[in-house]
């Protein structure tokens, strides 16, 4: 499936600003989580003895990502957009 085909909405389904905002929030949260994981991985590669300092940050970022994901899922389920 091409990117263009995935972007097509079925006939009668309007564009939804809220859904687009929720998608943006989810992707930003996911990006932040991945960045922290990358930094922790680099700390391990660099043999930083304090690499575990990222654990709490990763935990909080995962919670934010999950909240954004479930908000998006709930919106799509409720509004079928």
**CB count, 10 Å around CB of 50?**
7
Q: Is the distance from CB of 20 to CB of 75 less than 8 angstroms?
A: no
- For 2-18, what is each residue's pLDDT tens digit? 555 555 555 666 789 99
Average pLDDT score over residue span 49-73: 98
Indicate the average pLDDT of the chain.
90
CA 11, 28, 46 angle in degrees (round to 5)? 140
More confident residue, 81 or 43: 43
């Amino acid at each position: 499936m091409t990117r263009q085909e995935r972007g097509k909405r079925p006939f009668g389904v309007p564009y939804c600003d809220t859904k687009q905002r929720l998608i943006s929030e989810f992707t930003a949260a996911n990006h932040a989580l991945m960045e922290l994981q990358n930094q922790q991985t680099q700390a391990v590669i660099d043999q930083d003895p304090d690499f575990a300092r990222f654990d709490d940050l990763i935990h909080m970022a995962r919670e934010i990502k999950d909240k954004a994901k479930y908000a998006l899922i709930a919106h799509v389920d409720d509004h079928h957009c």
